[in-house]
Structure 1
Amino acid sequence: MRSGSYDEKNNGMQVLLVEDAADQGLLVCRILARECGLTCHQVFTCAEALDWLRYNSADLILLDYNLSNCTAMELLEAIERENGQTPPFIVTTGYGDEILAVNMMKRGARDYLIKHDNFLQELPAAINRVLADIVLERQHDASRREIREKEIRYFQFFQSSKSIMLMIDPQNGKIMDANEAACVFYGYSYRRLTTMRITTISQDPFEEVMDVIRKAENEQNHFETRHKLASGEICHVEIFSSPIDFENKRYLFAIIHDITKRKQAQEALKYSENLYRTIFEATGTASMIIDEDTTILLANNEFQKLSGYSREEIEHKMSWTSFVVPEDLERMLKYHRERRVDQLGVPIKYEFRFLNRSGQVFTCINTIGMVPGSKRSIASVMDISERKMLENQLRILATTDPLTGAYNRRTFFEMGGIEFNRSKRYENALSVLMMDIDHFKLVNDNYGHNVGDITLSTLVANCMSILRAIDILGRVGGEEFSVILPHTSGQEAMLVAERLRQVIEKSIMETDNAVFFITVSIGVAEIRPEDITVDDILKRADHALYQAKNKGRNRVELD
């Protein structure tokens, strides 16, 4: 049985082993790879450790305290001088020393291990425990960043909205923030408005206002009141409030609608009908009221803009199904029917694709609910196509090399690891290509880095024209690229590599002053039973690449 508990979350994590005993270091690295699923890099001296860290990052350092040329403490101080901080580390030593252990733990060590008889058996469990803590810390950091980003987006919306919005301290009623629409409505400058209390603006008794605020502190609230403007005018307002936490403090977020005109017209119109129409038209999103047979009874201005039809063409004449792409229609009709039986049993908010008059398709969010006491429903449709496009662009930026469009190194190794594991699990063939542009430095030296960049992009374009959709092309170095070929034997990969080499060799590179050609050397390796990670195949492919270089370049070699 394994003494350590293998954790798949460790895949892709790197351990730097600083150990001057070569045999023991080799044994430790094998154990960490087998038992913990880790990539282990061994260095023998402090200088080698510093040099490795200048070009690589380690998730964890496993550090022998007594090295031949320095101590662990001296190495840690040197790392901190260069990088400003020290990666997580575990200290190992051949003898127990409580003072030394205390000093290293104060220095930030995640653990202190003595190389006793059971050291190698106990090591995987200690490593997994520390790495689990590291993963959890990173997740917490990511969560905090995500929360902060959401807060920033929220307040950007707050400031740019045309609706009147206030941020209120529920403890004393002080107005902590106000958007531009609020300043215009109340007639005060931002500086003046944010020194006032809501109890000063409200015309209700002080205690009643504070009671409402206290109630709203823990739940969403909606009420009407009267507010006094800077001009002395008294306006009827409708307030929607919700508690919000920001920087560990509770505030009330209030959206305020001026309903003075509606109140003035109350004698002529029923209040419910007026409120219904006002809210319907003032939502800022495309909205419609739908009958049980799917006919649109009422559509607001935003819906007219989104659909391309006038209100006269829509109301009582068109079905909402006319605005849904066929692929989404069956699902939405199912929701429509079930909502009239049990509105809690179907989603009130979901994505679908909206089809307008000119045939354009928009990705939208549909928020829908039943009109109380009827079989009618009200739907609000928000176009999120731009947001979806931006999300896709961000996803591309995060996973691809911006110059060439190939996968970046991090994404390549993540996807390569997935394909490796799949190949191992199902015993499928898998091969790897390592490809390097021959004499690429001469291209930069002779024609400039701009031409060098164009050369790299052209190479990737040529590769993509040949590779399959399931193949994974990544830029792993300056002019070095690698390809994962799923379901491909070594001999089949040789044919692919040779085809790539020939296409690239024949590709014409043009500048303002010259025409030139490039060649590539390619190393090929296929998966073997003894391989533990995709790195094992990549190392052999890299070795084959160097064989191709040594044999004169512009050739393909199989390891």
Structure 2
Amino acid sequence: MTESHTLQQALETARRRIKELEEELAKQESSNNTPLEEVAFESAPGGMAILSSEGIFLACNKVGADILGYTVSEMDGLPIDRLCIDEKCKTLLKTSTHVPQNINDNRISMRRKDGERIWVDMDITPVEYGSKQAVLLSFIDITPLKELQSELNSVYSDVEQLIKERTADLENANYNLGALNHKLIKRDVEHQTARKSLQESEQQFRSIFENNHAVMLIIDPDSGAILDANPAAVEFYGYSLREIKTLNIAHINTLDDEEILQEVKNAEQEKRNHFFFKHRLANGDIRDVEVFSGPITSISGRILYSIVHDITERREAEEKLEQYRRIIATATDLYSLVDRDYRCTMVNDSYLSTFKLKKSDVIGKPLQQLMGQPIFDQHIKPYLERAFKGEACNTEHRVQLSGEDRFFTVTYNPVPRADGTIDYVSIVSRDITELKEQEQNLRTFSERLAIATNAGEIGIWELNIETNEVFWDDMMRRLYGLKASDDTPTYEVWHSFVHKDDLAKAEKALQGALKNNSQFSCDFRITRPDGEERHIKSAAQLNDPSERPRSMTGVNWDITKTRKLQEELQRLATTDSLTCAHNRRSFMERAHSEVARSHRHGIPLALLTLDIDHFKRVNDTYGHPAGEEVLKSLVNVCQETLRFTDVFARMGGEEFAAILPETQIPEAIVTAERVRKAVASTPVNTDAGIIDYTVSIGISTLRDDDDSLDDLMRRADKALYKAKENGRNRVETE
């Protein structure tokens, strides 16, 4: 399609549109004689009013009267002085009639009929009204926005920036709408002028509609069908223009009818001219939107013109801000916000309850008055000055509350704006009185513990499981023979101290405790740097698994004396005091164990019973001391002759026995003969003379049907008696 053809089509469309407008104007004039400018004036979505050069309202639409709290009739003839709060407002509005140019984007404070102060965003356009010079005031109520900006400015500059951007969009839209409405409000003009004005207005509106960055929709107010959408709306919702024009607003608005009615009621109660909805995009995302809607009367009928602002980020910021407020309000720490005049601008509930104050006692009051000038000058002001320079400070203060000294940690944090300027400092205080008491109690306990551990020679250690770092106190160093000047020991150093024969046992016990999250307990030997060997008892407990880093805390104490005493007691309990052979008790325990093992694994077992021949004669002839030497000699010969695994014991008097594990009759006979011959060939040199002596030996082996050790010993005793009866100095089997 050529460009000329396109222009021809546009021209034809414009001609048809003019004809339609003419017909509609004719109908309106014939029906109620209401000029179209007046219809546009009354149907504008914002407040509009005509102000004479004398400062008297000549006309005002219903939206404008509602904003100012008057009826339309009350606005006629109302002097501007009744609405202006300050001289700036009066001067601006009175002098604007003498300035031959538009004055846009004026945010001024005005007084409603009920005395309430409001803020409006006003565009001022010079016009002729009834052949007299006047101005057209186009304005919207921005009081809620002003209040929200004032509140958010003190906390989040980024939210302030977002609001400014949204406000700029709104101001731009209102400016464009004001320019459009200005072309529609001329009264008492010729029919042709009205038609031309309407045509120009529609073209201007279409240009604004198409080129505006704000999201705009045209909606059928009866059915909710979306009649048109500008490119910004197409981009925002993610539909093509054709698709979006097939939708109903109910497809986009996620609120149900009841929720929509409730929102309309809320807007009326809160006296706001916009609504908060949730709109669904083509990709399924749900966005929070702020919708400014107003009816517009066109040739084709009434339509709903809506400007949609995406406020999702603003809502998220507001919700986050509210969360922060709730956190601060309910925190147990004491929060306060101080300005550069050292006045409190905010405190939380904990602050008020701690100092037993009301909010009115604190807000706006200087800290000098709240804390006292000396305390402020000495303990507070220096830190505030540092914080206002951008430095975060920490300190401790002692405060007397209800006659009691309380200790607080206090943090002074600068609160910078987006441009880096610092107008406020937050002060966070925490009562650490109980912690101070606990620290003192812990210090006292530590001192007592040090005294106790030093007295008991108990060393304390701690192992960082994640890094293998080790802490030893002074007693640990002394236990291991280290000097205080030596380097801090490591886990590997502890390894090097542990005796090589005990290292595997100690390491296994430690790793088992770490794996099973259980207590560690182990005895092991260490070798000190000077070569001395000591026995150490170690016990430890893991810390709480939730704590980081994981660690184990334990103690060591020297049990060398105890171990030697235990070993001596064990030796005395299991050894014959004269000959140092196993005693009867030790032998019986070992023999029972070997019998059970042989039965369990099906291996052979032999038992020897020995008796010194004519031992009474030795005692009678040479004396008991000489007899004792014979007993010792017998034990030495047998221990040298028998295997290491064989158990040899003195059963009483001159009677002895030996258990030979894994030995059958033939091997037992060989062993017994070797013992007998060794004894016979080993005379004993005593003070009473040299004594030759012999032994008789009985042998028995374990049978499958033996119920106990007694059966085995009974057969060995019979074999011993047999050896004696057969002439002594011989070996007999069962």
Q: TM-score range by the shorter chain?
A: 0.3 to 0.5
- Larger Rg: 1 or 2? 2
Please report the TM-score for the alignment, with normalisation by the length of structure 2.
0.36
Higher RCO (C-alpha 8 Å, min separation 6): 1
Q: What is the TM-score normalised by the length of structure 1?
A: 0.46
